[in-house]
Amino acid sequence: MGNKEKEPYEKVDSQYYSEWYNEVVEKSELTDKRYPVKGMNIWKPYGWELMSNIDSRTEKQMRETGHQKVKFPLLIPEDEFQKEADHIKGFGDEVYWVTRAGSNELDIPLLLRPTSETAMYPVFDLWIRSHADLPLKIFQMVNVFRYETKQTRAFTRMREIHFFEAHTCHETAEEAEEQIKEDLEIMEQLSKKLCLPNLELKRTEWDKFPGGEYTVGVDSLLPTGRLLQIAGIHQYKTNFAEAYDITYEDEEGEHRPVHQTTYGMSARLVGAIIGIHGDEKGIVLPPAIAPIQVRIIPITYGDEEDEILKYCADLKENLESAGIRVDIDDREDERPGSKFYEAEMKGIPLRIDVGSNELEDESITLVRRDEGEKREYSIEGLVETIEKEMENMEEDMYRKAEEFLYDNIVDAEDIADITEEKVYRIGWCGDRECGQNIEERTDRHILGTLYEGEEFERGCLNCGDENADAAYLCKKE
């Protein structure tokens, strides 16, 4: 057995990271960036399979927690979009408009959904009559459109975004608050499987979802020392219900506005996995969602070829019947070296090499993508071996990324200390002016305070007020 510890993460400087990232997303065959509209890429089969595996997991979690799947239209009429003032203010400049059909101007301009509140909520008003219709818990997986003005980047900063959104309506504020907690639990389970440790931060007032009451941003740390938001969970209270007149009749016959929440994620999950786990050889995919979990590579020379290929086919069948996603790279015109290279670039979690030694010993040589070391196992109990290795790999990937996250959170007592690309924990009194002052002076964002809260003994970094909370200050990806 080899040494299981991998070298600690090497920090990649932002410049190099971008080049590396832009290269591996294509070389690993996740995406094709040559589509002639900026910020709109093609999902290649391997990339779409990966995203679909993440979506299936999310869908299962949603159904287990009583959500139902829906699909709303893409286009939203302007007058519906304009009902919630803060929402328009927040999304206004990012909206794509459809104003014409052929040569005719449309009576009411239509917009491509940037998110679906304003598509769904006019209909919620029709769906919800009495308390018996609550809670309403639905979700959809669709593409949304936002005119991103910064440099676009595959999966993390796109203009057409593959999006998951759950919307719920409840009778009371308490039930809506319980929903937020359920969403955070769902996220936590998912992030274990995706190997994405994170901070759940209650955003500042000026950074919350437009029109909502408060937002919990779920942030993972990239090797660049910048936080990437991978999910957003939002408490709306009755803000949208009042704008869209979504009311229910309670047991006493009173009409009351519903309390709403949403939970959103996107293809950014893929971007975070690539960024956090990738290395100089390519991407590294968590076993739970990898399109191919195991790749078998026959190493054939001369007259044993047929026997080795038969041996590999049997291994494949054995693993497949246990529900493991496995393939064989039996291309005749490729050398083993280039097959290894491709399996590494694509982040396939486990590689099984089979040559004449393995054939003779009735064994396999196994290589875990995150470690790169060879280990020999008997084919006896092969399924259990593979399952155990995948489980270990998932745990190790999560743990290493978690160590990286917590090693890069630094307490700062003075603005002058804030110089590196790290996450700084600072005191903040909660005052907006103070917070924005800190952001300006440090050229960083206050990403919020931990949702579950924490003890903190320092005063506000800006005004010195002793009654301060711990806030997390970092550059945003």
| Contacts with Zn ion, residue ranges (CB under 5 A) | 429, 431, 434, 460, 462-463, 465
Grouping H, G, I as helix, E, B as strand and the rest as coil, residue 189 is helix
Nearer to Zn ion, 184 or 460 (CB): 460
Q: Rounded to the nearest whole angstrom, what is the least distance from the CB of residue 422 to Zn ion in the complex?
A: 22
Q: Rounded to the nearest whole angstrom, what is the least distance from the CB of residue 452 to Zn ion in the complex?
A: 22
In whole angstroms, what is the distance from residue 231 CA to residue 265 CA?
A: 5
Grouping H, G, I as helix, E, B as strand and the rest as coil, residue 110 is strand
Residues facing residue 111 across a β-bridge: 76, 97
Q: Rounded to the nearest whole angstrom, what is the least distance from the CB of residue 448 to Zn ion in the complex?
A: 15
- What are the tokens at 227? 């936080």
Q: Which residue's structure tokens are 């093609």? A: 42
Amino acid at 308: I
**Residue 306 CB burial class (10 angstroms; 0-12, 13-18, ≥19):** exposed
Nearer to Zn ion, 174 or 411 (CB): 411
Nearer to Zn ion, 20 or 472 (CB): 472
Tallying the residues shown for the chain, one arrives at 477
Q: Rounded to the nearest whole angstrom, what is the least distance from the CB of residue 434 to Zn ion in the complex?
A: 3
Q: Rounded to the nearest whole angstrom, what is the least distance from the CB of residue 227 to Zn ion in the complex?
A: 22
Q: Rounded to the nearest whole angstrom, what is the least distance from the CB of residue 413 to Zn ion in the complex?
A: 14
Nearer to Zn ion, 101 or 416 (CB): 416
Beta-carbon contacts of residue 234 (< 8 Å; ≥ 6 apart)? 208, 209, 212, 213, 214, 215, 216, 261, 262, 263, 264
**Residue 198 CB burial class (10 angstroms; 0-12, 13-18, ≥19):** buried
Nearer to Zn ion, 324 or 438 (CB): 438
**Residue 147 CB burial class (10 angstroms; 0-12, 13-18, ≥19):** middle
Nearer to Zn ion, 292 or 426 (CB): 426
Please name which of 399, 427, 430 lies closest in space to residue 412, comparing C-alpha atoms. 427
Nearer to Zn ion, 35 or 206 (CB): 206
Please name which of 282, 226, 232 lies closest in space to residue 20, comparing C-alpha atoms. 282
Q: Rounded to the nearest whole angstrom, what is the least distance from the CB of residue 290 to Zn ion in the complex?
A: 46
Nearer to Zn ion, 396 or 417 (CB): 417
Q: Rounded to the nearest whole angstrom, what is the least distance from the CB of residue 410 to Zn ion in the complex?
A: 20
Q: Rounded to the nearest whole angstrom, what is the least distance from the CB of residue 215 to Zn ion in the complex?
A: 21
In whole angstroms, what is the distance from residue 87 CA to residue 125 CA?
A: 18
Please state at what angle helix 382-407 crosses helix 173-193, rounded to 10 degrees.
120
Nearer to Zn ion, 410 or 463 (CB): 463
Nearer to Zn ion, 242 or 431 (CB): 431
Q: Rounded to the nearest whole angstrom, what is the least distance from the CB of residue 449 to Zn ion in the complex?
A: 13
Nearer to Zn ion, 365 or 462 (CB): 462
Q: Rounded to the nearest whole angstrom, what is the least distance from the CB of residue 430 to Zn ion in the complex?
A: 7
Please name which of 129, 192, 140 lies closest in space to residue 166, comparing C-alpha atoms. 140
Provide Rg for the chain, Cα atoms: 25
In whole angstroms, what is the distance from residue 223 CA to residue 96 CA?
A: 33
CB atoms within 10 A of CB 212: 24
Nearer to Zn ion, 71 or 432 (CB): 432
Q: Rounded to the nearest whole angstrom, what is the least distance from the CB of residue 6 to Zn ion in the complex?
A: 42
Alpha helices in 72-172 (DSSP H): 78-81, 85-91, 117-127
Please name which of 104, 129, 113 lies closest in space to residue 80, comparing C-alpha atoms. 113
Look up residue 104 and give its DSSP letter.
Answer: E
Q: How far is CA 314 from the centre of its chain?
A: 36
Do 425 and 409 form a contact (C-beta atoms < 8 A)? yes
Amino acid at 336: P
